[in-house]
Amino acid sequence: MQKLYEGKSKIVYKGEDDKTCIISYKDTATAGNGAKKEDLPGKGRLNAAISNLIFEYLAENGVKTHLVKVLSETSVLAKIAEIVQVEVIVRNVAAGSFSKKYGVPEGTSLKNTVVEFCLKSDELGDPMINDCQLTAIGIATQEELDELKSAALKIDSLLTSLFMKAGIRLIDYKLEFGKADGEIILCDEISPDSCRLWDADTDKKLDKDRFRRDMGGVIEGYEEVLKRLKEALGK
């Protein structure tokens, strides 16, 4: 296979034609923009399985995504999209940088869903950026940003109810979108690497914070998420 790009947690290969690519999930875990790095055997398979279940569920509910088909335990065929250089952060409960920045204790439920934009730039550390700044530097139009926000809110209401069924609190997560055939579609992954997921009864963390904060039991957390999602979806 012809490698097109290798990132921190995935490798992208040439696909079946010039409209598709093959995305392969790696076992590498990174945090702090690559400062902390470790190999966690099984992580690639678990993230692929979790993200595929979620993308299929979203597609069944009318969300357009890049996923074409699942190829193996760790790889998918996806539409090539021109990635919008914006990370869309969605928050239902205060945690992480939001808690630090605004002094809201971790675990506080938010009165409304928060959608934030960050500029996608490892070099600059993905700084938070507002609509006005994004349109000013030509990253996206206001129309595109409005579309990202409404897609994020639709995805949030679908995901919150799915995770609730799985006995999991969906705290916050990151979404990425791209443009393909003139449409904005959901890209990248939705997995415990990109979400904060807490057990609904005990608030036990089942996501990458276990790795970021050296809590141990990372793979066990991801396995629990996959098991519960399968049950919730009847798969």
CB of 52 to ligand TYD, least distance (A): 18
30-35 — which CB contacts under 8 Å span 24+ positions?
31/208, 31/211, 31/212, 32/212, 33/122, 33/125, 33/126, 34/8, 34/122
Residue ranges in the chain assigned as alpha helix (H): 43-60, 96-102, 131-136, 142-165, 209-212, 218-233
> Which residues ranging from 145 to 184 are in contact with ligand TYD (CB under 6 A)?
172-174
CB of 98 to ligand TYD, least distance (A): 5
Stretch touching ligand TYD by CB under 6 A, among 67-75, 147-155, 189-197, 219-227? 189-197
Q: Which is nearer to ligand TYD, 106 or 147 (CB)?
A: 106
CB of 184 to ligand TYD, least distance (A): 19
| Binding residue (CB under 6 A) for ligand TYD from 162, 166, 195, 206 | 195
- Residues 76-105 as x/- pattern, contact with ligand TYD by CB under 6 A: -----------x-x-----xxxx-------
Does residue 54 interact with ligand TYD by CB under 6 A?
no
Of 107, 122, 127, give the one whose Cα is nearest residue 35: 122
Q: How far is CA 111 from CA 98, 102, 150, 174, 205, in A?
A: 14, 15, 18, 19, 22
Residue ranges binding ligand TYD (CB under 6 A) = 87, 89, 95-98, 118, 126, 172-174, 194-196
